[in-house]
Structure 1
Amino acid sequence: MAKELTHRGDDLKQLGWSQQDVLRYIDLWDYRQRWGAINLEREDRRFLRKAEAALPEIKTYKTSVKKPIRQKSYYCRLLFFLDQMRRAEESFQTSSSSTGLWPIVLEEELRALDYFQPVLGLPDTLKAKLLIPFREELLSSLQTKFKVNIQNFEFDFNVSLDAYNASEKKNWKPLRDGVEKDLNLYPVISSEVISECRSFIRKELVQMIRKTFPSLAEFDKPDPSDEWIPESNS
């Protein structure tokens, strides 16, 4: 029970206590605050206990501060893998204007998260496992669709994950957890079809994010327009 900082005579009035009893309670409460309960007469102490027993408990509520989505573990994990990919691409022998398909997928997933703002609690993160095969299928279809515009490289998706988990005391799972096929295959797409490729990925990911996370079940906003940019990126 929270400590009372003032008497609760008004609460006793609302409970139907008489004006006389309420005033007696207030006087005894004030006296106890100044001189202590030990100096009250036995009958007065009994009356005060009776009055306080009749009062409803004062409940205290902890202020809940909602963590921004960009501080959520799921979001930060995607950023980690995106950063590793961008670093790796600097060493690839390819045009500076080309980019990997995986970074586009992760960029669009992060954009969708920024827009829809799912809670990313346990129900959401459990359902997010469905995104693993979804990404794999999406990448496979993109490699077929844009085959002539793709150059393949090798990239170890987990090269820095173990070291990062150990140093930061994390337990992040691999981005492609459970996947065994083409583990190090890293397709890079040429600049002339990046826009078309991104539009395709965006459309697919927006719908997948929207229907996958339980916390978005009542989300009634329209899908983000192509012009929408996350606030911190605008």
Structure 2
Amino acid sequence: MKMDTVDIVRVLGTILCLVGIVLAFRVGRRRFTGLSADEHISLGNASVSQAALWKMLAFAAMVVVPLGAAFLAKYHTFEGVHEVQACARCHVMRPMINDMRDAHSQTLAARHFRNGWIPQNQCYECHSDYGLSGGMAAKAEGYRHLARYTTRTYPEPIAYKGHFPNDNCLKCHLGKTPFEAVKSHSTVRALLASSAMSCLNCHGRPHPSRAARTPGSPEYAELMRPAE
């Protein structure tokens, strides 16, 4: 069975947490006042005093292991957003996932998915600024989404705040033959590069409209079915 990076990080994080628990338990039961500074313990080619060894173990249990676990958790979180299922876990995202997989939908997401233009991680490829390499503004927005979702303080249907960055489109399309063959693209290239003009102005809606995602609308039940 082949393991990807996220699986490896998950295993390492689990091992680190278990090591931290054992270390914390052992350090917590140790009486430091009875340790000898003269009695040395051999560690391969080096030796340290009993007191120094337990101080290092205490430092590892209280500082090194928690920081390592926090780093792995952060990495796992940002790498995990690559997967479509990461978005599908939140019920308010079901309309976007179900629409993307709808063979008859004409939204940008559905057309990209249907034609295989993005072979995997379809959500992330168009929202890549939410990942590990994205800017702080996108990360702050992601945490805002998480806070609003967990505290149930969001309106339904949800709305996109701000403007979708053209860079997320241009990183795939710029320089490709289909893009360069459209004469109007050369006319507005500077506007697109500066995001003064949105790609969506001409290419349509990326996801279902707010009206379709509003509870009680004719499309709502179909869009809100459990995502596969």
By the TM > 0.5 criterion, same fold?
Answer: no
Higher RCO structure (Cα 8 Å, ≥6 apart): 1
The structure with more radius of gyration: 1
